[in-house]
């Protein structure tokens, strides 16, 4: 009798609908392209539920499709050195290390899994700017780093931003802090004749990168 009751209980539990994890809505006042209605955002949850529960981040990831940053999007989905999806969330970066307090984002590896933590000050940034930032951070997939790797990452960010701001000009909210960063990179890339010439120079002169080796696994020197 007990076995019968147990079987019935298991059957009832299996028949219960699975509640989808609630999506954190786009913060009020954040400008997103018209196509990203609540209904459209809900469809993104299927693809990105293992990555984030933030609607703004889901939109940013969706915007990377058909850009050079789609490589990074796929890396975030799990096509990276660990084989696991990269978790993304807004987080007080000072809680990781006080020296990270003013960073825009940090790539983090815990055991075998990767994380991208974004400074909460960017919670209202246009999703295109978040997308460009993620295109950069997703290139960092191990504990190694180098001047060449940072040059690649910053160049990727610039190229993705240029593409997205052309397609979604409403994203160019010049008063926004993250957009200012992206426009600075855009100017450096264009100043170099659409090359990493001046981005590379900026990376090599960055005090935060002093002491990094010239190359790291997968990243040769850019000329």
Q: In which residue are the tokens 């993620």 written?
A: 134
The pLDDT tens digits for 181-207 are 999 999 999 999 999 999 999 999 999
Is-contact 68 131, C-beta < 8 A?
no
What is the Cα–Cα distance from 72 to 94, expressed in whole angstroms?
Answer: 25
Write down the pLDDT at residue 20.
Answer: 53
Write down the pLDDT at residue 11.
Answer: 41
Q: What is the mean pLDDT of residues 63-88?
A: 97
Write down the pLDDT at residue 18.
Answer: 42
24 versus 13: the higher-pLDDT residue is 24
User: For all residues of the chain together, what is the average pLDDT?
Assistant: 91
pTM of the model: 0.90
- As to burial, measured by CB atoms within 10 angstroms (0-12 exposed, 13-18 middle, 19+ buried), residue 48 is buried
Residue % of the chain over a pLDDT of 90: 86
16 versus 94: the higher-pLDDT residue is 94
What is the Cα–Cα distance from 108 to 86, expressed in whole angstroms?
Answer: 10
Q: What is the mean pLDDT of residues 60-84?
A: 97
Write down the pLDDT at residue 223.
Answer: 79
160 versus 19: the higher-pLDDT residue is 160
The pLDDT tens digits for 98-127 are 999 999 999 999 988 999 999 999 999 999
Long-range contacts of 44-50 (CB under 8 A, 24+ apart): 45/20, 45/21, 47/77, 49/20, 49/21, 50/78, 50/85, 50/87
**pLDDT-based confidence at residue 22 (cuts at 50, 70, 90):** confident
Write down the pLDDT at residue 147.
Answer: 97
The pLDDT tens digits for 125-161 are 999 999 999 999 999 999 999 999 999 999 999 999 9
Q: What is the mean pLDDT of residues 65-89?
A: 97
Q: What is the mean pLDDT of residues 48-75?
A: 98
């Amino acid at each position: 009798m007990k076995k019968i009751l147990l079987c019935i209980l298991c059957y009832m539990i299996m028949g219960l609908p699975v509640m989808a994890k609630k999506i954190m809505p786009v913060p009020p006042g954040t400008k997103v392209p018209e196509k990203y209605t609540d209904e459209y955002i809900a469809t993104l949850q299927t693809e990105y539920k293992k990555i984030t529960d933030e609607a703004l981040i889901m939109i940013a990831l969706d915007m990377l499709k058909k850009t050079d940053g789609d490589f990074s999007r796929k890396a975030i989905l799990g096509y990276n050195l660990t084989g696991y999806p990269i978790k993304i969330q807004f987080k007080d970066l000072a809680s990781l290390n006080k020296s990270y307090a003013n960073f825009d984002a940090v790539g983090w590896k815990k055991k075998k899994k990767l994380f991208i933590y974004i400074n909460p000050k960017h919670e209202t940034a246009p999703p295109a700017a978040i997308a460009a930032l993620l295109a950069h951070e997703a290139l960092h997939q191990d504990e190694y780093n180098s001047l060449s790797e940072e040059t690649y990452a910053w160049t990727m960010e610039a190229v993705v931003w240029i593409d997205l701001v052309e397609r979604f000009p409403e994203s160019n909210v010049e008063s926004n802090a993250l957009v200012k960063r992206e426009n600075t990179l855009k100017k450096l890339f264009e100043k170099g004749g659409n090359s990493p010439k001046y981005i590379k120079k900026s990376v090599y002169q960055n005090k935060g990168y002093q002491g990094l080796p010239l190359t790291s696994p997968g990243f040769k020197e850019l000329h």
